[in-house]
Amino acid sequence: MSGSYLIIDNRFLAQLSDLSEEGRTYRGDYTIVTHSDSWDTESDPCSPFNADGISLPDHDPKNSGMIVLNPIFVGKVICGYYAAVIENACLSAHKVNRITKAINISFNEMYNRQKQKTMSLIAEEAAYTNPISGLANLRGACKWFTEFASDEKNRSRPISVSIYAIAKYKYIYENYGITEVENAVKTVADGLRSANPDNCFLGQVSENEFIIVNYYNSAEEISKTINSATSNFFTLMSSFNSINGKDYYIEVNCGCTVVDPGWNGTLSTFIKTASGELYMNKLNASTERKKNAENTQEYDEEVFSLLIEQNLFRYCFQPIVDAKTGEIYAYEALMRTDESIHMTPFEILNAASQCGRLYDIERATLYNVMEHYAHTPEVFGRKKVFINLIPGYFLNEADYAIIGTKYGEYMDNFVFEITEQNTLSDDELDRIKKLGGDSRNNQVAVDDYGVGHSNIVNLLRYSPQIIKIDRFLITDIDKDVNKQMFIKSTIEFARLNSIKVLAEGVETSEEMKTVISFGVDYIQGYYTGRPVFDPIPEIDESIREEIINCNNG
């Protein structure tokens, strides 16, 4: 409309773009006269932009007719006015109102579009940021690293990736609550910011782990930068803990990996390597504490937690030999740990019991052994594998369903050993047997038979396919008449109930010959084969011939 103007509050324009310098005037079909400061639709609608005292450019009130001001709203707030110079109010009123309405619609649409864009940017930033520390989360770290690695110049520089982990995060959370654990996170985040140089990337990649990526101009800078940063950080943490006044202190472990120029890996790969270094450092520190500690219970529990979290289990496989042919019938999976852990199976079970985590041992054993078998069934010659269970801690419904689905095709190759000294519930027993499907072929074995107090009762309940006679009864059986009588009666009972008998702990030729003469079905012990990480395909030929000769003689 000729002779019309838009008088727009500069605070509103600031919401839409960066073209809102105070006092700027735009000339064209419309002239925009801007006002001051900032503008917000949340402000008081009773205090709108006031147009008093504003004069229109080139307007002579004596010769140009009257001025009509119509407010422009965004939401409930006036953000400006549409000013029209008219000669006749009656003839022009409808046109002025129509234009004002169209302007209102356009301005609301512009504002809402900009608001949605801003909210999207905020949401996107939130998706890449940890709200507690304010640092980039794992997603944000990966995004940054992808962009960083896309520059060829960056990949021509050496970098280092460091991982810092709050060791007692779970303990602080469980004993002091969310506020305390958030304070710990903020404290560590602030400490890392202060200790590290500006030209690095900081992120929080999990609830208790932080990442620092340093990039260097030369290899000479690496050691100095890392040593300075770690020294400064741990000095800050030590100072904080000394004045914290809490019943706990914030312990942080660190691991680092250095990558030479020309690198081409992903951030996840570098994080994994740095994490391995972190856990080794933690283990070494725990080992030193164990050497200096009178009571090693705390050490065992701490290392046990690390064992579970990082799944540092290993398994040996001891052959179980057919007592007539000398051929390997099966293998027993025996739990071991990574060399860095230095915990025996007894210490592991003891720590698990103290920590209330026997279920974790049960689950880890079943998953690990079955996964190992499923990946390399040919290594085992598709023979059976015996797996020890912990009565009272068999898999819950969720884990039971997963393991049955994932390893169902191999389930008939597993024999589940139940310790005879502990009572197994009817429900657990039924679920164990159902793992093997309808065949239930050699599905249950009673372990350590002969050292409990209810042997016959448990045998009748369990209806096992195999009885493993405890090694105590096998040791020196060639010299002990009472042991011989017990073994003979056990074998006789087993024969009447179609149960196979396994002699466990056979360590001498004399012991082996004696149990074979009594009619055992299987032999397990150092004499026929020691536990090894890689299952042996057959036992020593001389021992196999000795077994055959015992049967022929």
Write down the pLDDT at residue 373. 95
Which pLDDT score is estimated for 238? 84
- Predicted local distance difference test score (pLDDT) of residue 512: 96
- Give pLDDT tens digits along the chain (553 positions): 556 777 777 667 666 654 333 333 333 233 444 433 333 444 443 344 455 555 555 555 555 567 777 888 887 777 788 877 777 767 777 888 888 888 888 888 887 777 777 676 666 666 888 888 989 999 899 999 999 999 999 999 999 999 998 888 887 888 888 888 899 999 999 999 999 988 899 999 988 899 999 999 888 889 889 888 988 898 888 888 877 777 677 888 888 889 999 998 889 889 988 888 887 777 666 655 555 555 555 555 667 777 888 888 889 999 999 999 999 999 999 998 876 677 788 888 888 888 888 899 999 999 999 999 999 999 999 899 999 988 888 888 888 888 888 998 898 899 999 875 556 777 887 888 777 555 444 488 888 887 654 467 777 778 889 999 989 899 999 999 999 999 999 999 999 989 999 999 999 999 999 999 999 999 999 999 999 999 999 999 999 999 999 998 6
Burial tier of 139 (Cβ tally within 10 Å: 0-12, 13-18, 19+): middle
Max intra-chain CA distance, the chain: 137
User: In this structure, which amino acid lies at residue 346?
Assistant: F
Query: Within 10 Å of residue 328's Cβ, how many Cβ atoms?
Result: 22
Q: State the Cα–Cα distance between residues 495 and 196, nearest whole angstrom.
A: 73
Nearest CA to 160 out of 275, 285, 300, 258 is that of: 258
Check whether domain 308-552 has CATH 3.40.50.300, yes or no: no
DSSP readout, 345-368?
HHHHHHHHHHHT-HHHHHHHHHHH
Q: Measured between alpha carbons, how far is 321 from 448 in angstroms, rounded to an integer?
A: 18
Residue 33's H or E segment, with its range, is strand 32-34
Contacts (Cβ under 8 Å, ≥6 apart) of 547: 321, 323, 324, 325, 326, 512, 516, 523, 528
Which residue in this structure is represented by tokens 């260097």? Answer: 216
483-489, long-range: CB within 8 Å, 24+ apart, which pairs? 484/514, 484/518, 486/450, 487/515, 487/518, 487/520, 488/518
Token code pair at residue 551: 């049967």
At residue 53, what is the residue type? G
Give the span between the Cα atoms of 448 and 391, in whole angstroms. 13
Q: Same topology for domains 138-292 and 308-552, yes or no?
A: no
How far, in Å, CA of 210 to CA of 340, rounded? Answer: 24
- For residue 541, count other CB atoms closer than 10 A to its CB: 9
Question: Contact, 537 vs 327, CB < 8 A?
Answer: no
Quickly list DSSP for 51-87. -TT---TT--TTTS-EEEEEEEEETTEEEEEEEEEES
In the sheet where 4-8 sits, what is the strand order?
A: 25-26, 32-34, 4-8, 77-86, 66-74
Distance CA 84, CA 100 (A): 10
Instruction: Provide the strand spans (E) within 126-226.
Output: 159-166, 200-204, 209-215
| Spatial CA neighbour of 302 closest among 361, 343, 245 | 343
Class of domain 138-292: alpha beta
C-alpha 431/C-alpha 445 separation (Å) is 15
253 DSSP β-pair partners: 165
Reported as a single tens digit per residue, the pLDDT across 339-372 is: 667 778 888 888 888 888 889 999 999 999 999 9
Rg (CA), the chain: 39
pTM of the model: 0.55
Number of H helices, E strands in the chain: 18, 17
What tokens were used for 532? 């090894």
Give the whole-angstrom CA distance, residue 358 versus residue 378: 31
Strand order in the sheet with 159-166: 200-204, 209-215, 159-166, 252-259
- 281: its two tokens: 């450092």
Q: What residue spans define the domains of the chain?
A: 4-127, 138-292, 308-552
pLDDT for res 49: 47
